[in-house]
Structure 1
């Protein structure tokens, strides 16, 4: 095992997580070795499942304001680029933690800790988050998951695959406009089958962003009806769906928050979708990936 990664298994599934960004690198069938997570390719997408914290998406003008001071921050925040510390590991899981440091305080002047716990259970991986406010003022943050799921080759490529929501969703979503969230939603019909058909051109205009999503599960389904995996969204109110156009993966992203639009004030505590955690408070959420058992031959 690499010193910077942790691998654990329960027999049915095998999982690998990196210290850098507490990023999920692999989730595979323990018997067939079928890989469910996108395997990084710097020429396509160099990540696999980054954690988005303390912002999601882009900030207007690349910065926000707090107590009259301007702080620059890159898209999706800093957690994905920093090394977490190991708190605990065993045969079936691992817990990692990120705390404030000189590197974070320069761009985010708050005391916090972010804990991420990965655990295997039967044919599921559970990912749990805890954010704690260890400072002396309200902690404003967004938190999002961004796992990319590998789509196996099939005769019609992406056209063979769909995402199926557990509930009927509104016939609209938000798209990006010059890198920021469009002020108004765009029509995006989802049929009574609650299905979004994947295609090489679906993400030509970047991500699909659903505010106040109703569904609590999204399944990746082959046109034959075979379910490849199901993702439980936890308590996240917002959802992003994205991939590089034509690439053989899709990201299902439960979010607490989303990109700025052109009308935001720039004040972090007033940012739409932001979570405001009181002093001493703790915030818990998470998601789960479930895969059907591989058929025995």
Structure 2
């Protein structure tokens, strides 16, 4: 386990999957990240690469070859190397191997950069194409934020505030695949209140948000997390039934559509990266009180 910290936050990241394992608020003396209890979910914040979500029939085609790929890709199960580590910053690297090429035929470098600045933790994904041909990929985050459900408190005491949206364009996931028609979800004063059964049919996928940052708060007013995700075209929301956490997931990529043909070039949300070039995108979490 590796640690970065400052006067406000203490952060732990494991080299297995370069996964964020702890986000501790020193001022409020509380852990904000889900602590991986397998009763509900044995992860805390995996990176989703080279695809987000599930593929139709569990495979895809590229250059007349068919490849299998597990849900959310393989990076979350890879061991990353630490290539930089200071008191407030750390960078991890994973490289393509003969094993990864059995699932994904591209030469790549995947970096995860974590950095603290006052009460904000940023997570930057950097992908480098080491191939002489275009690389096709998706990537996303899956952070799970712990909710205080001590006696007298309930999931419905928490809400997500969308400062620039009055309605949400929500897409359903059915049997792991994205339905092509959206449902409009109204907000109460720019707020989406959490409910115990809101994810009984799987995750919510939001598109075309005007907001580039959202807030996770509670009615009492003693809990606030801001997630900024400018440049991420999709936002996933998910939690198991009855779980004391909520996943708020910035995605560049999404599950296959129900109508997808399996051709990687036509996959929704896929990113095309030129030969020997790089791509970067950052999301961040800012901790503070109302």
Class of the TM-score when normalised by the shorter of the 2 chains: over 0.9
Distance 1:169 1:74, change over 3 A: farther
- Given that residues 123 and 293 in structure 1 are in contact (C-alpha distance below 8 angstroms), is that contact kept between their aligned partners in structure 2? no
Distance in structure 2 (CA, Å) of the matches to 1:166 and 1:233: 13
Mapping of 1:38-117 within 5 angstroms? 38-117=34-113
Secondary structure of 1:8's counterpart equals strand
Distance in structure 1 (CA, Å) of the matches to 2:93 and 2:210: 30
Say whether 1:190 aligns with 2:184: no
Say whether 1:222 aligns with 2:218: yes
Distance in structure 1 (CA, Å) of the matches to 2:246 and 2:210: 20
Distance in structure 2 (CA, Å) of the matches to 1:228 and 1:171: 21
- Given that residues 176 and 205 in structure 1 are in contact (C-alpha distance below 8 angstroms), is that contact kept between their aligned partners in structure 2? yes
Mapping of 1:1-297 within 5 angstroms? 5-154=1-150, 155-168=152-165, 170-191=167-188, 193-292=189-288
Distance in structure 1 (CA, Å) of the matches to 2:164 and 2:8: 29
Q: Deviations over 1:112-158 (max 9, x none)?
A: 11111111111111111111111111110001011000011252410
Distance in structure 2 (CA, Å) of the matches to 1:116 and 1:159: 34
| TM-score normalised by structure 2 residue count | 0.96
**Which runs of 4 or more aligned residues in structure 1 lie more than 2 Å from their structure 2 counterparts after TM superposition?**
30-33, 169-172, 224-227
Structure 2 unaligned spans of 5+ = none
Shift, 1:31, TM fit: 4.4
Q: Deviations over 1:89-124 (max 9, x none)?
A: 011121001110122111000011111111111111
Distance 1:31 1:114, change over 3 A: same
- Given that residues 163 and 196 in structure 1 are in contact (C-alpha distance below 8 angstroms), is that contact kept between their aligned partners in structure 2? yes
| 222-231 vs 50-59, greater mean Cα deviation | 222-231
Distance in structure 2 (CA, Å) of the matches to 1:166 and 1:216: 9
Shift, 1:186, TM fit: 2.2
- Given that residues 169 and 207 in structure 2 are in contact (C-alpha distance below 8 angstroms), is that contact kept between their aligned partners in structure 1? no
Secondary structure of 1:39's counterpart equals coil
| 167-176 vs 118-127, greater mean Cα deviation | 167-176
Shift, 1:212, TM fit: 2.5
Secondary structure of 2:149's counterpart equals coil
| TM-score normalised by structure 1 residue count | 0.94
| 284-293 vs 249-258, greater mean Cα deviation | 284-293
- Given that residues 169 and 215 in structure 1 are in contact (C-alpha distance below 8 angstroms), is that contact kept between their aligned partners in structure 2? no
Secondary structure of 1:52's counterpart equals coil
Distance 1:198 1:265, change over 3 A: same
- Given that residues 95 and 118 in structure 1 are in contact (C-alpha distance below 8 angstroms), is that contact kept between their aligned partners in structure 2? yes
